[in-house]
Amino acid sequence: MEMSDRDTHNAESNFSLFEDCLASRVFVLPSVSDPEGDSEDLDEFSLYIAQEAWLALPSKIRELTFTISPIPEADEVVLDIQPSSTDSTDTLATYGLISSGDSDESHTFLRYVLISYISLATKPPPAWSSTRTNECEICSREVPLTYHHLIPRSTHERVIKRGWHPPEMLNNVAWLC
């Protein structure tokens, strides 16, 4: 199955989000909270772990959006991941983040990462009124603004039919002069 540009962008965005969730979990662990440690090494390490764990996740988790319903639970996802399907357990143990070879501890570690990731990936965009700016989003002038749909509502049906935009893009808006 060929991925569209939108799917590729969503997958890259979700991986970046997953990596950030994993990195924040790694950075709070006592074994890596050395203030004199090299942050670049920690960044590379968290990227490596994220890449290993990401490939082991089911595609339905890698493709989450705020329009997904029902939202999956982290406990359900962890059960889908078998210890043999990822080398993350060995890597986490090598760096002292979990007990040596303890797949249950690896699942617990990943569960906390998934809880953060799922909540962020499925979080809806902010309400339109909270996005109001002081300047036009196109010309940056500070003049009275109005709220505009970037894809006019009257064209939504045609836009979907012709595949110009995915349904989740239809209600994108901007504050314009």
The pLDDT assigned to 30 comes to 64
Coil vs helix vs strand at 126: coil
Between 156 and 40, name the one with better pLDDT: 156
Q: Note if the pTM is more than 0.75.
A: no
The pLDDT assigned to 15 comes to 92
Q: Look at residue 87 and tell me whether its pLDDT is greater than 70.
A: no
Q: Look at residue 107 and tell me whether its pLDDT is greater than 70.
A: yes
The pLDDT assigned to 42 comes to 76
Tokens of 123: 């979080």
Under 8 Å CB-to-CB from 106, ≥6 apart: which residues? 83, 86, 88, 89, 92, 93, 98
E strands, the chain, in order: 146-149, 173-176
Residue range 28-38, pLDDT digits in tens: 776 655 555 56
Provide the mean pLDDT of the chain. 75
